[in-house]
Structure 1
Amino acid sequence: RCPACRNYKPHYEKVARLFNGADAVHPGIILLTRVDCALKINTKLCDKFSVGHYPMLFWGAPPKFVGGSWEPKQEKSDIHVIDDARTADRLLNWINKQTSSSFGLDDQKFQNEQLSSNVSDPEQIARAIYDVEEATSIAFDIILEHKMIKPETRAPLIKFLQLLTAHHPSRRCRKGAGELLVSFDDLYPTDFSSSQKQDDDKSQVTNFQICGKEVPRGYWVGAQ
């Protein structure tokens, strides 16, 4: 690991602790994760994002990092480089500007959050459902983006949608899964050609939001 990365690590982790981990003060809002470009297994990933110096931080919505990339001369991109994050204060200020928030490095949990978990707490339940909605929406986006609906995956996907319709904790995710299940045979008949059919139905299915249009999305900050 390069000296610059070692020097920056305490600053990055100071901000990360606000949002990530069991003791996070503001959980579920922003996910910070890091990638070690010195490891051979990460070479292709770092090349896709044109990592040219270390550390290098990126900002974007979760689905944009899945199969996404970044280039320095790219005029329009949903992924942005954080260019002013030399210290924990600067990084958090940058995040505050992007999210119109006022997070502080000295923020602490409210007293009731320091108590033992209470599964009957409505706020805690709502937050858990939010997380499941977020994960469901991202998973479905990945399935569509990578054209994973194929003749051989048709039956398992139907079972998956049936499970979502019957047991998903979110009403809007149950509704969306049910609507897709009703139309599934029309969109993907048993004899459909995966590539051709999914291209034909791109406008109908790619824009389909399984948990509804109002599902809130957080942000991930990726450090390379």
Structure 2
Amino acid sequence: MTLLQGQRPLLLGRSDGDGCCRDLAMHRLDGYRSPLPPIRSALMRDPGNWPHRYASWLDESPESPLHDGRWELRERREFPPYVWFSEEFVRDWPGGSLELYCGGGWNGVLPLRRLSAPDDPRVKAYRKHVRDGTLAPVLLWRVTFLDGWLILDGHDRALAALEEGRTPPCVVLTRVPDDENDEVTETAGTRTWPHPGGPRAWDEIAARVMFECPRD
């Protein structure tokens, strides 16, 4: 599998192991760009409706994952503890392996860029917003074939919340069924397309990445 942003490959993955419960061996590449503009401290203190604001930014951004269909943005502040406070929040970069359990998916959070150091000035500034209750929510994208989430915006904000021992406040982007008669609580499958150029093109990208990062 390949995750692209425009024409830029961001993640390469290959099924690893035997049987029905295989792992996903993956390698992420630099170059991810957030679909949201920088969120300043003044805006965090007087935000208005975050889902509405994020929807507007996503609709206007050329880096957005949106495509034709129905989408939902919903605030979420509670997750099972393992989602953020275990190895299911993938801190390693760039490689890794996701355990795709039979019938249960993975249920974790995957950053799309390298995480900052905990003592980074931006993380420290965001920690004050965490304590004040004014932190802008992390933007997550629900990806059904992983049964997990990708961070679209807010990597440093997520880290700041975790450094304070808090679950990051989130706005979750989910594709919902196209039929307006279906319940909005249902989730539509994340749309996928054949890899441009087919398996040979994927192998060429993977070979180049492995040449540059042989330990992965």
TM-score bracket for this pair, using the shorter chain length: under 0.3
Larger radius of gyration: 1
Select the structure that is richer in helix.
1
TM-score normalized by the length of structure 1: 0.21
Select the structure that is richer in strand.
2
TM-score normalized by the length of structure 2: 0.21
